[in-house]
Structure 1
Amino acid sequence: MENSNKISIIIPSYNEEQLIRNTSEVVSEIMNQNNIPFEILFVDDGSKDGTWKQILSLSKDNSNIHGIHFSRNFGKESAIYAGMQYAKGDCCVVMDCDLQHPPIKIVEMYRLWEQGYEVVEAVKEDRGEESGIHRFMANLFYKIISKLTDIDMMNASDFKLLDRKVMLVLLNMKERNSFFRALSSWVGFKTIQVPFRVAEREAGESKWSTKALVKYAILNITSFSSAPMQIVTICGFIMLIISFVFGINSIIQYVTGKALGGFTTVILLQLFSSSIIMICLGIIGYYIAQIYEEIKGRPKFIVSEKC
């Protein structure tokens, strides 16, 4: 009896012209060999190369391949949510176009879903080939976000299988700046993890520079937690303690009749306090900017073409 539970394989793609065809062939072959009904949904995140032309060509030759093309680059998170919105399967799996997420793992994840699991998370056994600074920054970010969210994110990835009900919960969250990797764990449901090894890229270069990772980290930490706002309170207490110490010292000098010297100390205190104030204003300003982005109510993405 043929399996009727269809899986939607969502593949965000940005300037992946060299990889689209090979990825679709590898994934299709694995799904067909294991008799799993599937659709492949490529989400072209405003690519500047021939990515969309490749998707169009493949969709004409294979009815299981579909595509969405953004009007411009909106980012990977938006591409994932667009994929979930347009997916027609009973469950979906999100994977990278470069095949660093091994497609053969989808079969294992799908079988676990058939057993009743609603979220199947693929966790990294290693991070693959990365530069030292990139690895350090990535580990630092995941340590911070794990601490702030009380969710173990150290080996987390976007490579996840989600049941249809989980997809609907995530799509009904109205926040514009969403952190898919954390939110898909935060929502709960019956969850299991499967380990995987990060494979080497088939072609092209990673789109994640250290600068992009830092920007991504700041955006997701502030969108998922208000903990950085507590830095303002901590800095305020530090300044209070310093002021209290120097205040007592000034009173003692006044009572004992000693001259109140220390021009250098005054300058250093002014510089220190000004720096603290500017840092605090920067943190507050960033959160206000996030609020401003949210209340404008602009869509997460704009689809210009479908196939």
Structure 2
Amino acid sequence: MKLLSVILPAYNEEKMIEKARDTLGRILSEQDIPYEIVFVDDGSKDQTWSEIEKAAEKDNHVAGVHFSRNFGKESAMMAGLASAGGDCCVVMDCDLQHPPETVVEMYRLWEQGYEVVEGVKHSRGKESLAHRASAGMFYKIISKAVGIDMSRASDFKLLDRKAVDALLEMPERNAFFRALSAWIGYKTTSVEFDVREREEGVSKWSTKSLIRYAITNIVSFSSAPMQLVTGAGVFMFLLAVVLGIQTLVHYFTGNAVEGFTTVILLLLLIGSILMISLGIIGYYISKIYEEVKGRPRYLISRKIDSQVKEQRNR
């Protein structure tokens, strides 16, 4: 039996640390699966790290990583993968909206030879109409941009050690975990799951954060917005040709249009497209600047290794 590392990014999840540890530990122990649980505290402002320390003192299967500040969920997942010592790793939410029982199913599929096991959403659970609409729009846009169907994708997945190493070797600072785990290939299968209701706390995802998340990840993984700039330029060129021909026809037939309405509308249209295009290009340049600086994805201020991992490394 080979070691399974379960990675749980946590931001202000003090009420869920003990519950997640207890639930996962019980399920995996009942199935005789050797495991470690790696909590990654993404710069929480509550007592999340204190709860992780308590869990590690109580359970030798628990490991912890504490960021110096909030670096975001993508960084937390990558830090968890880097700290994990398992032959395979599962990434899931600390709030247990990803059902822990599915981890066992993923592990059994990995034993059959699959190297990436994707958790695919069968249902999204209870959501407000506004949140469901914004999430649906987000996944449509990002699926078109990255060329991968993300409509039911999630961060809930199992990765073989070779897939984990492949992800960690990628140097980019702004990594889009969901898309990269599909991009690397390897032998892949999927399992369906129903998103559960949170037992404690509130969701950290608002409509605003979803929009920011979409923009950041589209730019980090795809050049589609830059292609939109090219498309806008081609459209304006064709429009200019049509209007130029129309203007010349009116001029030579003596029916030139008086007034500046057309000119004003064209200037407004061209100016808007130029400003949007400059904004898109500027955003890409800012991301290139971040990559060129070469700063780390995250900074770790404290760390606890599980005794399971330490015993294995001896």
Structure 2 residue 145 is the aligned partner of structure 1 residue 169 = no
Picking from 105, 130, 134, the partner of 2:102 is 105
Picking from 296, 300, 304, the partner of 2:301 is 304
Q: Which residue identity lines up with residue 135 of structure 2 in the other structure?
A: A
Structure 2 residue 90 is the aligned partner of structure 1 residue 93 = yes
Higher mean displacement: 238-247 or 250-259? 250-259
- For 1:19, the equivalent position in structure 2 comes to 16
In 2, Cα distance between equivalents of 1:109 and 1:254: 72
**How far apart are 1:197 and its partner, in Å?**
0.5
Provide the secondary structure at the position in 2 that maps to 1:181.
helix
Picking from 48, 51, 67, the partner of 1:70 is 67
**How far apart are 1:181 and its partner, in Å?**
0.6
Q: Deviations over 1:207-257 (max 9, x none)?
A: 001100000000111111101111111111221122112211221222122
Structure 2 residue 6 is the aligned partner of structure 1 residue 9 = yes
Whether contact under 8 Å (2:173, 2:296) holds in the other structure is yes
- For 1:53, the equivalent position in structure 2 comes to 50
Gaps of at least 5 residues in structure 1 are none
Structure 2 residue 32 is the aligned partner of structure 1 residue 35 = yes
In 2, Cα distance between equivalents of 1:116 and 1:238: 50
Provide the secondary structure at the position in 2 that maps to 1:274.
helix
**How far apart are 1:148 and its partner, in Å?**
3.0
Structure 2 residue 215 is the aligned partner of structure 1 residue 218 = yes
Q: Deviations over 1:152-204 (max 9, x none)?
A: 21111100000000000000000110000111011010111000000100100
Structure 2 residue 246 is the aligned partner of structure 1 residue 280 = no
- For 1:269, the equivalent position in structure 2 comes to 266
- For 2:132, the equivalent position in structure 1 comes to 135
CA RMSD of aligned residues (A): 1.0
Q: Deviations over 1:125-147 (max 9, x none)?
A: 01111121221222222222223
Structure 2 residue 79 is the aligned partner of structure 1 residue 82 = yes
Picking from 139, 148, 151, the partner of 1:151 is 148
In 1, Cα distance between equivalents of 2:256 and 2:86: 80
Q: Which residue identity lines up with residue 100 of structure 2 in the other structure?
A: P
Q: Which residue identity lines up with residue 99 of structure 1 in the other structure?
A: L
Gaps of at least 5 residues in structure 2 are 305-314
- For 1:246, the equivalent position in structure 2 comes to 243
Q: Which residue identity lines up with residue 216 of structure 1 in the other structure?
A: Y
Whether contact under 8 Å (2:247, 2:256) holds in the other structure is no
Picking from 114, 119, 123, the partner of 1:122 is 119
Q: Which residue identity lines up with residue 57 of structure 2 in the other structure?
A: K
In 2, Cα distance between equivalents of 1:258 and 1:63: 88
Provide the secondary structure at the position in 2 that maps to 1:273.
helix
In 1, Cα distance between equivalents of 2:143 and 2:155: 15
| TM-score where L is the length of structure 1 | 0.97
Picking from 204, 211, 214, the partner of 2:201 is 204
**How far apart are 1:259 and its partner, in Å?**
4.1
| TM-score where L is the length of structure 2 | 0.95
Provide the secondary structure at the position in 2 that maps to 1:12.
strand
In 2, Cα distance between equivalents of 1:28 and 1:306: 20
Whether contact under 8 Å (2:42, 2:71) holds in the other structure is yes
Structure 2 residue 184 is the aligned partner of structure 1 residue 187 = yes
In 1, Cα distance between equivalents of 2:70 and 2:141: 28
